[in-house]
Amino acid sequence: MTNIKTIAKRELAAYFTSPVAYVFIVIFLLLCGFFTFFVGQFFERGQASLSAPFFDWHPWFYLFLVPAVGMRLWAEERRVGTIELLLTMPITAWQAIVGKFLASWVFLGVALALTFPIVLSVNFLGSPDNGVIFAAYVGSWLMAGAYLAISSLTSAFTRNQVVSFIVAVVTCLFLILCGFGPVIQLLEGLGKPALVDLVASFSFITHFNGFQRGVLDSRDVIFFLSVIGFSLFTTGVILRGHRAG
């Protein structure tokens, strides 16, 4: 546990000494503000709810922003060669993987928490159900974790951060699209409801919807946690594979 903490601490500090952290946070907040108030027409709706104008966009923001955060996780270690240092320390590879993941996840949590002015404004303007908003925040953070774990996985594949980024975006796009309205309609046209449900059950959007309605369904939580668990496990397998040569 202390090893995980040590590694996470170092990693988190690394984010905040590089411009990546600030660029990320600024872009994320700008996007949130722009989409909520202009595209999402927060004011025109006249509803004291954040679901449609704010949280609906999260899966799409994360699609590009999270891989940008996660792409350096292992690609950079391998390129610079510090992985040789890290993995010859008296720690397990598992501790390193989890520590690095947690640091980035906490970082994403910080960025997400900084959107609090939006919550304040909706409370100022009306009386929203803050329980629902809280559930949606939890869901959003879990979903970000799933994106991040996938980015960690693609980052372990390659020394090249750009390749890592692109593969992560494509993978996550796939996982979004299989629950995206138009795609679902397309599949429904095939007339096989079971198939539709199966495909949709893999989607980030489907599982995020529950949280947006204020429902903390254990199945949704388990879905995101298992995506995280599976991706991190595979990250370990890939790293071991690289070292075995």
**CA dihedral over 59, 212, 175, 112, signed as positive or negative:** positive
Q: Shortest Cβ distance from residue 12 to other proteins (Å)?
A: 11
Q: Shortest Cβ distance from residue 93 to other proteins (Å)?
A: 10
Q: Which stretch binds other proteins (CB under 8 A): 14-22, 47-55, 100-108, 213-221?
A: 14-22
Alpha carbon separation from 147 to 42, 68, 78, 92, 181 (Å, rounded): 27, 11, 21, 24, 20
Q: Shortest Cβ distance from residue 243 to other proteins (Å)?
A: 5
Nearest to 31 by CA among 111, 129, 142: 111
For tokens 């198939």, the residue is 195
Per CB under 8 A, does 91 bind other proteins? yes
Q: Shortest Cβ distance from residue 211 to other proteins (Å)?
A: 34
Q: Shortest Cβ distance from residue 162 to other proteins (Å)?
A: 19
Binding mask 61-90 for other proteins (x = CB under 8 A): -------------------xxx-xx-xxxx
Per CB under 8 A, does 243 bind other proteins? yes
**Helices 19-34 & 93-113 angle (0-180, nearest 10):** 40
Per CB under 8 A, does 10 bind other proteins? yes
Distance from C-alpha of 92 to C-alpha of 174, rounded to nearest angstrom: 32
Per CB under 8 A, does 23 bind other proteins? no
8, 102 in Cβ contact below 8 A?
yes
Per CB under 8 A, does 21 bind other proteins? no
Q: Which stretch binds other proteins (CB under 8 A): 33-41, 191-199, 226-234, 236-244?
A: 236-244
Per CB under 8 A, does 92 bind other proteins? yes
**Binds other proteins by CB under 8 A, chosen from 1, 17, 181, 182:** 17
Per CB under 8 A, does 13 bind other proteins? yes
Per CB under 8 A, does 39 bind other proteins? no
Query: How many positions of this chain bind other proteins (CB under 8 A)?
Result: 23
Per CB under 8 A, does 22 bind other proteins? no
Query: Closest CB to other proteins among 156 and 184?
Result: 156
Q: Which residues of the chain form contacts with other proteins (CB under 8 A)? A: 3, 6-7, 10, 13-14, 17-18, 80-82, 84-85, 87-92, 240, 243-245
